[in-house]
Structure 1
């Protein structure tokens, strides 16, 4: 394939620029996904003498501030301040950071300036601005951010501080997710108008649905003009590698919907509540005075048994577990059910 040849050439260019040593690394897994090494790496190892190392070779090294905060207390307890200071670390400032981190972890919702609470030095103008938050509508993701780390929420949502991201030609996960949501919304709206039911459908109906969803996807993707090499791989996720639709996420979605059991039928799509995109929906929701807003991807109904099912599409990422729901750090589905 053309993109493989291009990537192989870039790989060769990278190798050619090395002067002394080359270090290769790859992730073995991410959350619940497992990765495999690049075929380029396997080819390289086959023809060049190399030494394989793993995490045990680097146990004594610290790569991030998070690791430093985790390992520093042990080093300080063992009287190894000189190890830290010799590495150019301000030990006194580090001790302060450790204490602050301890305050946050011991009581995330304690009334401390380190957990997003502001003390008595607030001006009247600042108080007025903070009171405006009472009238604000919050999304589930915003509340989850606050539940996980009030201080981070304060920095991001109140002070509007943002992390500077490296420019990328790839489709960001959020953008790809929005694209898939858009495809599925139009797909379900279309098949509902045509009275097409995917569940337990025959091959003929399945082929009709397949054509509809891929035609919709083609139009939406073409509008994005995804021509870069990294974006090529995102196209393959949607349409399948080398045009093989059976390997695409859309085809697998259709298969899953066809094989679903039970009597639930997709009925409502992109159902909004609260103010959304400067428009007000007919559903206003608040819990204990906290106003909420959001958009439910899909609601399936079981009309015979008077039941409903809330469905939220996830392209990737960690699924909420019982402990997340009980501790209040996963709020999206509970809010949607409410």
Structure 2
């Protein structure tokens, strides 16, 4: 019957594709993942198989709509949890926002209206179909294991009856995953009982099919290695199969170009790197009623790059009062570009609201720039913005020859790194060229610290400095004077390195030389581990699942208590290379 249901779904998908081709020509049209998932879910919810033959001893499983006019001696109503029954949200639609707007402009309204009256009538009709006994049920937890409240309809039924009416008639069953105490009545319950009693000989149950017994034996081995062994192994990311390691060595070989972000991801959690960059898993994007941080940051970056290119071309190298008008104009134009691209009226309005906030931020830019320059001007040094959105190791949009990647060579390890630097400020020194790396950020200040750079848990700014020194300004005796985050919403420039003594590297370049050599060694260690298949499940952040897109995939909550050993230490020590 499962195969028949799948065939029916494929037929529904085929009908949908035929309609798409009639409307949009051969091949239909390209859909993004969110739209495709929404439409596929809508089709799956509406497609169904013909009823199986009725007869004695059968339990008919029907939707509430199918059962509302059928009587039976015993009626079970399942799923009476919050947000399930009554269902007050309309079913998923095959139409997207643009199509609904076209239909509404033609006075065709697909709005669901108030669903509660219809849901109340539906519940009454189903509940009154029982001739002898009515059983009401709701799940105690949702699919994430969170406690679930009963439906308002179930509470209303209880309120209609005397409390004594429920004495001895309310039963809470354990979830199947928790094991069963009664005699199993289905193949699933037999399987669960065998798994629960695995170590006590549960797999010796003669009722278990041979293939199921083999699967449970494999599952038991996985459990022992992942949740009972103190050492990482093949069951939690330590890959040792020669063919697999050979493939990884090929994929991530010397010709592979890494981004600083990818290397930082490996540092934070090797297993997350494995899911993202080896298996290429991607989380489904969920609709959001706010402007994504990434897109807001892109608008800010575009505005700043255009501003400084125009200022440089005009011979303006410092924060004059007139720059305020220039920066607000560029920010307004960058926001308007996103307004024009927004897919719906609501999205356009959200961008306009976000634009007003960004313009207010832009009005403070001149004061922030002066704050950044102050300690340097006191030393007679005047850094000037010179490079904007400077790429290395990335293809060019216009087809011109690209700038090569940063190449790190340590012993037998060769690593190529690419990136785009938001801004590089330069100043001529007696012994060469001094430069500042400036990275615009729209996030919170606490996420970007000099400590993270010093410990090598974040690599972006230090790798950018190395790339400027060895690639973008090669042959000019260039050296960094500072690495700064420019926090658009929290006060502007934040010197991450060398820290509070902003001009320290102007007088003493030895600290940067130490960082540079340790950075090279650390990058080589990271990539060597990637090529060797070391993707252990050992994230550095205690609460990583709160923000990680793969938090429900890795099972770190169950594994964390084992206390496995083998995490790479921070910062890099000489004996780790």
Measured at CA, do residues 214 and 328 of structure 1 come closer, stay the same or move farther in structure 2, by a change above 3 Å? closer
What is the 5 A alignment of 1:269-288?
A: 269-276=388-395, 281-288=402-409
- Matching residue within 304, 312, 320 for 1:192: 312
What is the 5 A alignment of 1:1-338?
A: 86=174, 89-90=177-178, 100=226, 112-113=233-234, 116-120=237-241, 122=243, 127-128=246-247, 130-134=249-253, 135-168=255-288, 170-199=290-319, 201=320, 203=321, 205-210=322-327, 212-225=329-342, 228-229=345-346, 232-240=349-357, 245=359, 248-260=360-372, 261=374, 262=376, 263-276=382-395, 281-288=402-409, 289-304=414-429, 306-317=433-444, 318-338=446-466
User: Using the alignment, how far apart are the partners of 1:310 and 1:316 within structure 2?
Assistant: 18
Is the Cα contact below 8 Å between 2:335 and 2:352 reproduced in 1?
A: no
User: Using the alignment, how far apart are the partners of 1:223 and 1:94 within structure 2?
Assistant: 56
Q: Which runs of 5+ in 2 are unaligned?
A: 1-82, 87-140, 146-172, 180-195, 197-218, 377-381, 467-577
User: Using the alignment, how far apart are the partners of 1:64 and 1:140 within structure 2?
Assistant: 34
Distance apart, 1:315 and its partner CA: 0.7
Higher alpha-carbon deviation: 256-265 or 220-229: 220-229
Residues 73-100 of structure 1: CA distance to partner in whole angstroms, max 9, x if unpaired?
Answer: xxxxxxxxxxxx9565558789977973
User: Using the alignment, how far apart are the partners of 1:86 and 1:255 within structure 2?
Assistant: 63
User: Using the alignment, how far apart are the partners of 2:267 and 2:308 within structure 1?
Assistant: 34
Find the residue that maps to 1:221 and give its secondary structure.
Answer: helix
Cα RMSD, aligned residues only = 3.9
Q: Which runs of 5+ in 1 are unaligned?
A: 1-16, 21-60, 66-84
Residues 11-50 of structure 1: CA distance to partner in whole angstroms, max 9, x if unpaired?
Answer: xxxxxx9x99xxxxxxxxxxxxxxxxxxxxxxxxxxxxxx
Find the residue that maps to 2:442 and give its secondary structure.
Answer: coil
Distance apart, 1:144 and its partner CA: 0.6
User: Using the alignment, how far apart are the partners of 1:312 and 1:335 within structure 2?
Assistant: 12
Measured at CA, do residues 165 and 316 of structure 1 come closer, stay the same or move farther in structure 2, by a change above 3 Å? same
Residues 125-176 of structure 1: CA distance to partner in whole angstroms, max 9, x if unpaired?
Answer: x834641321210000000111111111111111111112213354322222
Distance apart, 1:186 and its partner CA: 1.4
Find the residue that maps to 1:122 and give its secondary structure.
Answer: helix
Find the residue that maps to 2:440 and give its secondary structure.
Answer: coil
Distance apart, 1:121 and its partner CA: 5.9
Measured at CA, do residues 98 and 303 of structure 1 come closer, stay the same or move farther in structure 2, by a change above 3 Å? farther
Aligned length, in residue pairs: 248
Normalised TM-score (structure 2)? 0.37
Is the Cα contact below 8 Å between 1:272 and 1:293 reproduced in 2?
A: yes
Find the residue that maps to 2:424 and give its secondary structure.
Answer: strand
User: Using the alignment, how far apart are the partners of 2:221 and 2:316 within structure 1?
Assistant: 64
User: Using the alignment, how far apart are the partners of 1:238 and 1:102 within structure 2?
Assistant: 53
Higher alpha-carbon deviation: 306-315 or 127-136: 127-136
Find the residue that maps to 1:177 and give its secondary structure.
Answer: helix
Find the residue that maps to 1:237 and give its secondary structure.
Answer: helix
Higher alpha-carbon deviation: 160-169 or 316-325: 316-325
Measured at CA, do residues 172 and 287 of structure 1 come closer, stay the same or move farther in structure 2, by a change above 3 Å? same
Measured at CA, do residues 141 and 211 of structure 1 come closer, stay the same or move farther in structure 2, by a change above 3 Å? closer
Is the Cα contact below 8 Å between 1:271 and 1:297 reproduced in 2?
A: yes
Measured at CA, do residues 210 and 137 of structure 1 come closer, stay the same or move farther in structure 2, by a change above 3 Å? closer
Measured at CA, do residues 140 and 224 of structure 1 come closer, stay the same or move farther in structure 2, by a change above 3 Å? same
Is the Cα contact below 8 Å between 2:318 and 2:384 reproduced in 1?
A: no
